[in-house]
Amino acid sequence: MLETIRKRQRALLTIITVVVIVAFAWFYNPATFRRGGMGMTGQLGKVNGHVVTIEEVQKLERDLNVAMQLGLYDLPSQLATDGRSRDEQVVSYVWNLFILRDAAARLALDPTPDQVKDAEKKLAAFQTNGQFDGSKYQKLVETLRGGGLSAADIDTVVTDNLRLQNLNSLLRPVAQLPEAMFKREYEFANLKMHIAVIAFKRADFEKGIQITDAEIKKYYDDQKDHLQSPEKRKIALVSFTLKDDQKNLTGDKRNEAIRPLAEQVEAFAQPLLDKPSEFEKVAQQKEVPVLTTGLFTENQPDPLISADPAITREAFNLTKENPVSDVIQGENGFYIIKLVQIEPSHPLTLEQAKDQIVSALKQEKTTAAIDAKAKEVEHKIADDTKGGLDFVQAAEKAGYKPELPPPFALSEANASDPVAHALVANRVELEPGETSRLLQDADGAMLVHLVGRDPLDPARYEEEKKQKYPLLDERFASGITREWLRVEQQKAGRPPI
């Protein structure tokens, strides 16, 4: 299991800062499953032999709301490991919660009643001036009673949170982020690189490419079943987003700004659970503007929604039977959308598909020509470097004068720099003297040769380690908890999502 985590180290270590955003839009809702979800009655499946019913999921979903009110965000963030929709994430959470409870009983990780009470008294939600405030506890209990819950639900949630903490503590010794791994990542990201780049410009290879009518006809005959116009959709949407002067907020200040928006969007979503047709009516009642897009495709979203890809993805998941989305979390807030119109895809005639076919054939021929030339150049460079030439000399002899950009570190590179982008996008890690594989970019392709790196600054490294290692270590540890859950699901039974 640890080996699997280490294989995923790149994804874990590229996250330098982790900001916990309370996912009210997904979990802060004591209502039943949304339209078109798992249904309202019956069985969902089995976990460790236990039959999981819709009623159980609904009850645990309400308990999840309690966890959010108590600030126990690790429960949803660590146990909701799968699913794209809200329904699926809730089911994932419930499945993993049953697995956690079974493991806690098996491994003696269940807390005692006294430990539960002590933990409740230490919760930030019940503190005043650093001391337990019983009135805050009673106020929450009264609020819960209004939703059919009780103080026992607080005990249940805190117990589950302690089980999760105990499991994390048990796994922690094998989840220590190796410092060598951290240091290696630091060096690749922060030490300035001296590189030589051989660029193969697509425009240079496209000039001589010709596409004949016979090739177009053959391509059409071979692919006509797949040559379809893209489906188009039109949606209406309401948005609950940060103001321009709030969009650069971070940490607690950003969470505080997001919180009321999450509450507003959930209040908007609530009446639509049973009556999605009243989307416009609810918007009018709550005085929320409704915006409407034009027809757009999945690959070319309307300008109104292009900044948040999640909206486009959800738009193409909607159906005429279920036309209103769950809450969608975007970069700066939340959205709910309604499907207004679908323009289905249809087969293209040869004439309609001609431009698309010509473009595809040119792309194929250009890519093949670049690949062939790159292999030829690579072979010549390899032969000449064996004979004593350095990379730059060998490249020039092969007919390509390498570009020698100023030294740069990946962490400081401009995001628009094509070389830095290609290295990051392709996860290229080179040692001095190594040359990358052929890397594709918007203008064609390139070979990148690492001449050398600047030496490590020990003082700067120690400062970086002091600031970022603890955070990455925690992130690494949470990764092994997810991996443990994945393995346990294979034995206990996976959720039906």
pLDDT reading at 21 higher than 50: no
What are the start-end ranges of the E strands in 222-265? 232-241
Query: Between 476 and 429, whose confidence is greater?
Result: 429
132/70 Cα distance (integer angstroms): 14
Domain ranges of the chain: 2-176+471-492, 192-223+349-453, 232-343
Q: Is the pLDDT reported for residue 1 higher than 60? A: no
Span 123-139, mean pLDDT? 92
pLDDT at 295: 97
Question: What pLDDT score does 39 carry?
Answer: 43
Helix axes 151-171, 458-492, angle to 10 degrees: 120
Region 334-344 average pLDDT? 96
More confident residue, 250 or 409: 409
Q: How many CB atoms lie within 10 A of CB 284?
A: 11
* 211: its two tokens: 């596409």
Query: 91 near 57, Cβ under 8 Å?
Result: yes
Digit-coded pLDDT (tens) for 136-158: 999 999 988 888 889 999 999 99
Per CATH, which fold does 232-343 belong to? Chitinase A; domain 3 (3.10.50)
Tell me what percent of the chain is helix, strand and coil, each rounded to the nearest 5: 55, 15, 30
Question: pLDDT band for position 9 (50/70/90)?
Answer: very low
What is the average pLDDT score of the chain? 87
Q: Is the pLDDT of residue 13 over 60?
A: no
Residue-wise pLDDT tens digits, 23-78: 333 343 434 444 444 444 478 899 999 999 988 998 999 999 899 999 999 899 89
Dmax (CA) for the chain in angstroms is 83
The answer to whether 233 touches 342, Cβ cutoff 8 Å, is: yes
pLDDT higher than threshold 90 for residue 8 = no
- pLDDT for 475 beyond 90: no
Bigger pLDDT: 210 vs 413: 210
pTM, 2 dp: 0.57
Q: What is the pLDDT of residue 17?
A: 25
Is 481 a residue whose pLDDT tops 70?
yes
